[in-house]
Structure 1
Amino acid sequence: MPNENPLLSPSTLPYGLPEYAAIRPEHYLPAFEQAFADHTREVAAITRVRSMPTFENTLVPLEESGRLLGDVARTFYTVSSADATAEIQEIEEQLAPLMSAHQDSIQLDSDLFWRIRTIHEQLVELDLTPEQRYLVVRHHTEMAHAGAGLDDPAKQRLTELNQRLSTLTTQFEKNLLADTNDLAIVFDDASELDGLSEGELSAAAQAAADRGLEGKWVVTLTLFTGHPYLSSLTDRGSRARLLAASRSRGSRGNEHDNRATLLEIVRLRAERAALLGYDSHAAYITSDETAGSPAAVHDLLRRLAAPAARNARREQAKLQALIDAEPEPFALEAHDWAFYTEKVRAAEYDLDRAALRPWFEAERVLQDGVFRAATDLYGVTFAERADLGGYHPDTRVFEIHNADGSPLGLYILDLYTRDTKRGGAWMNSIVLQSRLRGTQPIVVNNLNVPKPAEGRPTLLSLDEVTTLFHEFGHALHGLFATVTYPHFAGTNVYRDFVEFPSQVNEMWIYWPEILASYARHIDTDEPLPAEVVEKLHASEAFNQGFATSEYLAAAWLDQAWHSLSVDGAAADIDVADFEAAALSDIGLDNAVVPTRYSSTYFAHVFSGGYSAGYYSYIWSEVLDADTVEWFRENGGLRRENGDRFRGRLLGVGGSKDPLEAYRDFRGRDAEIQPLLERRGLAG
């Protein structure tokens, strides 16, 4: 009965926040079963209508349909990403093919597609608002793209492919989480961690204690290839152990090996693309993105790769020269790069980034940095709601109000790493805003900051500060999007546009009044010295050869895998050999600059939503860098600027073509020159 399952009754909490304290794992599958049945019945009611299709009798009820399924799914997947216990993982594995089959039953419904296609064909004649008109276009495009126009045998095969892929991508993520946890490095002596701060040592000791290893230290791995501690550890052997563990994930020949899984994913994605009429999965994906084609993506990546690789080689030569001057010189290796980069940074800019942590206490960064920038720019205010609980004790809930005092939504922050949380950082929505449904947004930010021992402050690295501002940019997008139809809510935009608002929000990290507000010493409250700020600005392009190369290498790997034709993907492929050939092809095969993600732990593309789309970060950064120029030209952190950016870009959600929205904001298309200058590639 509904009153026995909290997922089947409307939440009594503000904004519809799920009552996580009452939800148990055994509630999820029955709730999904009910939600699938409800959604199927709702869509059937649309297709049974005997009158000719109209916007009111087709699109409106379609947007109303599936509400329970959306609520249950967002509630569950928030937990499965951030607190994936063994029980939750088992549910997710069972759910993956069921969810895929249900989605196909809706997206491939011939009767529904006929109704939408009929409306689409009459679109010019219809009296609709711009948002309604675009809704028709997007539903028609997305159903056609999903295969709704195929014949029945092709649809049957497509459904089989989608179900199998959903199982494989879930398995990939499960394998990666398990192998990442297994490969956490245990250190027996604190001397092996020389160079880490007191707070970092405390976090390593706490991680060991949590695993029952009292008196030892455990360093957990990050999602990407490198690790923040590589820049500080003085023990070369410790650095080597850390990087080797990171790079071996998913390829050790154990039960968590991801090589066979990813190869099957690549083969099935290529087969699906061919079934849908495309040469490759990359062609299929980019056809409904702003890029339009793999050729456009490849052109940008190749244009940037050559100068990035040259810059990385110049940086490498500087590092090697520093090592050659030591009493016992050696050849630079990948695990040495970050450590000696900091030495060069100190020599050239008199700047030690690791020593900046005492100025970046997490609570102050959040309240006086991230929140203050949003308040100054958009007028929104934040109040913590200790009376509202999230899905885990570490979560914190904040209520947000607009400048006029009207309620906007809820923001949930989940800062710390744990073994049940997947790696990386992300934003997701729990409740979507919609005028049609009368709902307001709830968004979540997840990071993976090591948690210090009880009573110790959380001191962030500059990279972690950047991540917090970045993810909060996604959160603002999810909070500010104000649309009628849930299809357009929040960050429901093209994948290669979705990173743009988050990247723009990073600009406030160094904005003078914001930096002066949050970057204050934990003990003395002294602001970050002006000379240090000047050095940070002076060194912004420092090490960009490495940073750009490692990113481009990963983006190119994604394109290489997903540009395979169905015949090419069916070949006998050795994963390591394929990677080496792909990186050689684009000139990013420098052994001391490893790709940011190798295939076996490339969660973005093999278990996330970025398959053939990891290029999105650099693609969006073209818009971002151009937007930063606009803010600087127009006085920066001013309410008028924030209102324009919110109203013309963030506020439209997915209800408008994103490049059209950008032109409306900027007055023209974006230019690439600001990006080239930012990354030191202009020459």
Structure 2
Amino acid sequence: MNPLLEPFNTPFETAPFDRIKNEHFLPAVQEAIAQAKQEIASITATGNTPDFTNTIEALERSGKLVNTISSIFFNLNAAETNEEIQRIAREISPLLTAYSNDILLDEALFKRVQAVYQQKASLKLSKEESMLLDKTYKSFVRNGANLDETGKTRLREIDTQLSQLSLEFGEHLLHETNAFQMEVTAKDDLKGLPESVVEAAAQTAKEKDKEGSWVFTLHLPSYLPFMTYAENRSLREKLFYAYGSRCFQGNEYDNQQVILTIVHLREERAKLLGYASHADYILEERMAESPAKVISFLNDLLFHAKPVALLDVEEVTDYAQQQANLPSLQRWDFAFFSEKLKKEKYSIDDEMLKPYFQLENVVQGVFEVANRLYGIQFKENKSIPTYHPDVVTYEVQDEDGKHLAVFYADFFPREGKRNGAWMTSYRGQNKQAGIDKRPHISIVCNFTKPTLTKPSLLTFNEVTTLFHEFGHALHGILANGTYESLTGTNVYWDFVELPSQVMENWVYEKECLDLFAKHYQTGEKIPAELIQRIRDSANFLSGYATVRQVGLAQLDMAWHSTTATSIPSVDTFEKQILQPTQVLPVAENTNTSCSFSHIFQGGYSAGYYSYKWAEVLDADAFEFFQEKGIFNRETARLFRTHVLSAGGSEPPMELYKRFRGKEPSAKALLKRAGLLKATSEK
């Protein structure tokens, strides 16, 4: 029997990872699609007059098995993949694309949806029902329902190609990240590196049958500490170029042609549907609404941030000149000298902080923050099956002990896991026939692994990352809607980062750090003066960091709003677009786009600006928490009710105003980042 096609006889109907084998996926997807098509046929075959229940709601409830199986599969393809899973993905992906198109290009189904939509004014729908009707109708129109047969055929071809190219982009990047290793055999070449980093590199060497040496990789827990602390400049340069040239080396894993084909097809698809560009198509369903508004927003940030960024770089350059008499500061020098300068200015660095941030304590800390704000509790449950021994599972309960969600936490890097950190779900929340189906939520990170002598100790940036992803998780865990497509993180993508980014603010607060930041050996609480130094250094290089993010967002917008045929080459185009935000010398033979998985593999195309957009929201929202107290339960109740639990049930600005009482102000972000001149702060 195929466990994916049977009822999940597991705690809380969680995925039966202990029984699933790779060969189960393809037949399960095929069978689930066949069942879903029968469900669609039963909607269109009915002789009943189309109404909200027999058409819109019935369509929303269809295809649940497809969603369940595909979410399990593609989450594994990101967090625990191998060549066999990647091969299966290349078979499954076009099947799912065709299935989606079969629904959205079904003329009889669209006529029923359209008939309900045209009656909308007389239907007396709730706000949530009204949103579902709008979203359903728009999804058909925005995916080709009004095209003629020739247009529909071409749209299917484009969507199939794009799904395959996205997989190819990710496979290339994972291979290039895994393929490189820098073996160090001379102990002198390790100068400057903290003992924990050296120990981890020795452990990596042992795992790769190179015992007696030290191996550094392009996985971030290995790459970032080397770039930050290694005194050997030539090795920093070597590692920098290996990282920066991934998928940009003219070999079989090169992503340049993949990118050009993706942007060409995205543009063709947008124009086929009547939009000027892919960015116009995407932004129609975003808070920002249009490319012009995004560009204006980014330019305004750049106006405030670039003068500060130039001063940041000048300060680091002068410091490097004093310290090492460098002829010029290069990109592989920046992290190294800026970290030294930060330590000198604020008497603080990551190595000083890491002993206070043992992973297990930070996890319990973020759970305690959630408990103080929302009254929820996390209880480890080892009976829930997992896909890897590293994964820890929890049951989440409300204040009264009522089951809220299942939570998976997967923290350490491995070869089958892509870089970065993300939140995902295996089951969304929804209500049907009086039953509240609770969600199954997961966060996946790449933190430093424990060694033989030390537990996993996080950098402050990793602590922030954990809080960020946990904010996304809360958005899923606290979902409380009727329709799954409108609950949890199913919101506009420039609103989805608000719950995650607002959570980062707590890690700068003494009241929060006192809950969990204690020395892993002595148990001593993090000293108050160290917390103050964290706060004092919060805006160190904030101009530089802002300009970097603006540059990435502008690069994304350029790829998706420029006529594809006018792009000369990936390298030339990228240099041209990034030139206004370059504050360090350009490193030849490196390329950002070729490893920009957010926009070419993930779902952030024409949406990378969302991070900065949501920072405006989060800075404004956290000001409210600070006014009332960072653990004020009434403020938390408002945020839970109108943001976390509401999902996409109403337009995001309406929800935000209901929480905050007003529209957000960009001034809060500029002020927090120290980018407003003193005169304009008053």
In the alignment, is residue 456 of structure 1 matched against residue 454 of structure 2? Answer: yes
Aligned CA distance change for structure 1 residues 68 and 624 (closer, same or farther; 3 Å): same
In structure 2, distance between residues paired with 1:140 and 1:528: 54
Q: Given the two structures, how large is their TM-score scaled by the length of structure 1?
A: 0.96
Q: Counterpart of 1:546 in structure 2: which amino acid?
A: Y
- 1:496 counterpart residue number: 494
- 1:317 counterpart residue number: 314
- 1:666 counterpart residue number: 660
Aligned with 2:193 (options 191, 196, 201): 196
Q: Mind listing any 5+ residue stretches in structure 2 that lack a counterpart?
A: 678-682
Asked if the contact 1:225/1:247 (under 8 Å) is kept, the reply is no
- 1:618 counterpart residue number: 612
Q: How does 1:90-489 map to 2 (within 5 A)?
A: 90-222=87-219, 227-326=224-323, 328-367=325-364, 369-436=365-432, 438-454=436-452, 456-489=454-487
- Residue range with higher mean Cα deviation, 516-525 or 451-460: 451-460
Shift of 1:197: 2.4
Aligned CA distance change for structure 1 residues 390 and 596 (closer, same or farther; 3 Å): farther
- Residue range with higher mean Cα deviation, 662-671 or 572-581: 572-581
- Residue range with higher mean Cα deviation, 596-605 or 90-99: 596-605
- 2:670 counterpart residue number: 676
In structure 1, distance between residues paired with 2:374 and 2:199: 38
Shift of 1:524: 1.1
Q: Counterpart of 2:472 in structure 1: which amino acid?
A: H
> What secondary structure sits across from 2:430 in the alignment?
coil
Aligned CA distance change for structure 1 residues 427 and 587 (closer, same or farther; 3 Å): closer
Asked if the contact 2:15/2:385 (under 8 Å) is kept, the reply is no
Q: What's the CA shift string for 1:75-108, capped at 9, x where partnerless?
A: 1111111001111111111112111111111122
In the alignment, is residue 63 of structure 1 matched against residue 67 of structure 2? Answer: no
In structure 2, distance between residues paired with 1:294 and 1:107: 26
- 1:76 counterpart residue number: 73
> What secondary structure sits across from 1:610 in the alignment?
coil
- 1:651 counterpart residue number: 645
Q: Counterpart of 1:463 in structure 2: which amino acid?
A: N
In structure 1, distance between residues paired with 2:274 and 2:583: 33
In the alignment, is residue 582 of structure 1 matched against residue 577 of structure 2? Answer: yes
In structure 1, distance between residues paired with 2:560 and 2:284: 13
In structure 2, distance between residues paired with 1:190 and 1:383: 44
> What secondary structure sits across from 1:655 in the alignment?
coil
- 1:508 counterpart residue number: 506
Aligned CA distance change for structure 1 residues 193 and 546 (closer, same or farther; 3 Å): farther
- 2:86 counterpart residue number: 89
Q: What's the CA shift string for 1:43-89, capped at 9, x where partnerless?
A: 11101112221011112211221011011011111111100111111
Asked if the contact 1:206/1:452 (under 8 Å) is kept, the reply is no
Aligned CA distance change for structure 1 residues 108 and 228 (closer, same or farther; 3 Å): farther
In structure 2, distance between residues paired with 1:481 and 1:605: 27
> What secondary structure sits across from 2:616 in the alignment?
helix
> What secondary structure sits across from 2:442 in the alignment?
strand
In the alignment, is residue 540 of structure 1 matched against residue 534 of structure 2? Answer: no
In structure 1, distance between residues paired with 2:598 and 2:213: 32
Asked if the contact 1:225/1:246 (under 8 Å) is kept, the reply is no
Asked if the contact 1:519/1:527 (under 8 Å) is kept, the reply is yes
- 2:549 counterpart residue number: 551
In structure 1, distance between residues paired with 2:302 and 2:207: 43
Shift of 1:353: 2.8
Shift of 1:30: 0.3
In structure 2, distance between residues paired with 1:642 and 1:192: 50
> What secondary structure sits across from 1:320 in the alignment?
helix
Asked if the contact 1:580/1:589 (under 8 Å) is kept, the reply is no
Aligned CA distance change for structure 1 residues 530 and 77 (closer, same or farther; 3 Å): same
In structure 2, distance between residues paired with 1:525 and 1:597: 44
In structure 2, distance between residues paired with 1:473 and 1:500: 8
Aligned CA distance change for structure 1 residues 552 and 602 (closer, same or farther; 3 Å): same
Aligned CA distance change for structure 1 residues 532 and 453 (closer, same or farther; 3 Å): closer
Q: Counterpart of 1:510 in structure 2: which amino acid?
A: Y
Q: Counterpart of 1:371 in structure 2: which amino acid?
A: F
Asked if the contact 1:29/1:95 (under 8 Å) is kept, the reply is yes
Pairs aligned (count): 675
In structure 2, distance between residues paired with 1:167 and 1:475: 29
Shift of 1:644: 1.5
Aligned CA distance change for structure 1 residues 551 and 572 (closer, same or farther; 3 Å): closer
> What secondary structure sits across from 1:476 in the alignment?
helix
> What secondary structure sits across from 2:426 in the alignment?
strand
In structure 2, distance between residues paired with 1:527 and 1:597: 43
Q: Counterpart of 1:426 in structure 2: which amino acid?
A: W
Asked if the contact 1:199/1:457 (under 8 Å) is kept, the reply is no
Q: What's the CA shift string for 1:475-512, capped at 9, x where partnerless?
A: 00011111111111221111111111000111211222
Shift of 1:141: 1.5
Asked if the contact 1:554/1:597 (under 8 Å) is kept, the reply is no
The percentage of counterpart residues that share the same residue type is 40
Asked if the contact 1:416/1:447 (under 8 Å) is kept, the reply is yes
In structure 1, distance between residues paired with 2:90 and 2:284: 30
Q: Counterpart of 1:644 in structure 2: which amino acid?
A: L
Aligned with 1:603 (options 586, 597, 620): 597
- 1:39 counterpart residue number: 36
Shift of 1:306: 3.1
Asked if the contact 2:514/2:526 (under 8 Å) is kept, the reply is yes
Shift of 1:455: 5.6
Asked if the contact 2:93/2:163 (under 8 Å) is kept, the reply is yes
Q: Mind listing any 5+ residue stretches in structure 1 that lack a counterpart?
A: none
Shift of 1:198: 2.5
- Residue range with higher mean Cα deviation, 48-57 or 157-166: 48-57
Shift of 1:589: 5.8
Aligned CA distance change for structure 1 residues 223 and 580 (closer, same or farther; 3 Å): farther
Asked if the contact 1:165/1:265 (under 8 Å) is kept, the reply is yes
> What secondary structure sits across from 2:431 in the alignment?
coil
Q: What's the CA shift string for 1:101-122, capped at 9, x where partnerless?
A: 1111112222222211211111
Shift of 1:629: 0.4
Q: Counterpart of 1:529 in structure 2: which amino acid?
A: P
In structure 2, distance between residues paired with 1:16 and 1:314: 55
> What secondary structure sits across from 1:161 in the alignment?
helix
In structure 1, distance between residues paired with 2:623 and 2:408: 31
In structure 1, distance between residues paired with 2:37 and 2:191: 59
In structure 2, distance between residues paired with 1:564 and 1:225: 37
- 2:680 counterpart residue number: none
Q: What's the CA shift string for 1:531-557, capped at 9, x where partnerless?
A: 111111111111112211211111111
Shift of 1:595: 14
